[in-house]
Amino acid sequence: MDVTTEVHGEALIHRVSGRIDTGTAADAERKLTAEVRQGRRVAMDMTGVAYVSSAGLRVVLMAAKLAKANRGAISLFGLQATVREVFAMSGFDKVVTIRDDEASALAAVAP
């Protein structure tokens, strides 16, 4: 899995691609929690993510908890249908902010 990061005003966008699963979870954790640990405001572009298993959900949950603990913010957008289904099934759509598009995801993390 790969992450590229763009700066958008006070917020960052992590553009994520590939799979977030058992094999990539450690790498994903490093890449997706570094900024929220600093209290940054992050929107995660999930358009390029075709697969998230429970190992991937754990990383997202950790990022959301770190964002809250460090007074940052996090939102996700562009979830593919199968990925969105996994989030809904596990109730993660209730603990993580999910938006349809980039503009609303950025608005959701704005101070």
Partner 1 sequence: MVEIRLSSDRAPEAVESTLDAIEAHLVAAGAAEPEVMQMRLVAEEIVTNIARCAWPEGVDAQFHVELAAETREAGLHVSMTTIDDGVAFDPTAQAEPDIEASLDDRGIGGLGMFLVREMTDAQRYERENGENRFRVERLLPRG
> Which positions lie near partner 1, rule CB under 8 A?
21-23, 50-51, 53-55, 57-58, 61, 64-65, 68, 81-82, 86, 89-91, 94-96
Least distance from partner 1 to the Cβ atom of residue 69, Å:
10
C-alpha neighbours within 13 Å on the C-beta side of residue 32: 30
Least distance from partner 1 to the Cβ atom of residue 79, Å:
13
Q: Output 4 or 82, the one with its CB closest to partner 1.
A: 82
At 59, which amino acid appears?
V
Within 10 A of 25 (CB to CB), how many other CB atoms are there?
20
> By C-alpha distance, which of 53, 67, 55, 85 is closest to 14?
67
Least distance from partner 1 to the Cβ atom of residue 6, Å:
26
Q: Output 11 or 52, the one with its CB closest to partner 1.
A: 52
Q: Output 86 or 105, the one with its CB closest to partner 1.
A: 86
| Pairing status of strand 2-8 against strand 11-20 | antiparallel
Q: Output 42 or 57, the one with its CB closest to partner 1.
A: 57
The number of angstroms, rounded, from the C-alpha of 34 to the middle of its chain's C-alpha atoms is 12
